[in-house]
C-alpha cells in the first residue's frame, strides 16, 4: 500500500497547475478540468478513458458529465487535499484525452475532421 502523503499548500498547487497543467484549476479543494466533447458518444469515451486510467493508478476522481462535457475532479481524501498523486493522474488523463494521433505522422490518422458523424473531443 502506498504511504500517505501530505497535501500541497494551495499557493503551490496553483503554481504547479500553471506550469504543468494550465487547463486545470484549483476550486473548492479539488483540481478540476472540464473536457468539451462533440456529444454523448464522445462523453462516454472520455469517462471510460478516465475510469481506466484511474483504476490502473488506484486513485479515483469524481466525474460529472452531461451531453457534451465531462468534468474530472481530483483530491487525495487520505491527505485531505492535493498531492503529487493527483498531479500524476491529472497529467496522464490530460495526455490520453488530448492525444491527437493525426498530428504525429506515425500512421495513425485520427478521427476524420469536418465530418460530424466521427466528431470526438473538442481539442484545446
Residue 3 has pLDDT above 60, yes or no: no
For range 15-21, the mean pLDDT? 98
How far is residue 73's CA from residue 62's CA, in Å, rounded to a whole number? Answer: 5
Could you give all domains of the chain from N- to C-terminal order, each with its CATH number? Answer: 29-98 (3.30.1360.20)
Q: pLDDT per residue over 54-68, tens digit each?
A: 999 999 999 999 999
Q: Following DSSP, what letter does each residue of 32-58 receive, concatenated?
A: EEEEEBSSHHHHHHHHHHHHHHHHHHT
pTM: 0.88
Amino acid at each position: 500500500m502506498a504511504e500517505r502523503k501530505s497535501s500541497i499548500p494551495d499557493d503551490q498547487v496553483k503554481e504547479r497547475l500553471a506550469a504543468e497543467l494550465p487547463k486545470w484549476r484549483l476550486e473548492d479543494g479539488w483540481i478540476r478540468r472540464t473536457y468539451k466533447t462533440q456529444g454523448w458518444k464522445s462523453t462516454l469515451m472520455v469517462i471510460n478513458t478516465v475510469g481506466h486510467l484511474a483504476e490502473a493508478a488506484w486513485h479515483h476522481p469524481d466525474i460529472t458529465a452531461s451531453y457534451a462535457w465531462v468534468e474530472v475532479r481530483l483530491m487525495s481524501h487520505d491527505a485531505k487535499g492535493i498531492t503529487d498523486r493527483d498531479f500524476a493522474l491529472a497529467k496522464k488523463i490530460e495526455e490520453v484525452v488530448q492525444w491527437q494521433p493525426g498530428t504525429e505522422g506515425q500512421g495513425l490518422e485520427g478521427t476524420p475532421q469536418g465530418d460530424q458523424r466521427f466528431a470526438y473531443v473538442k481539442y484545446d
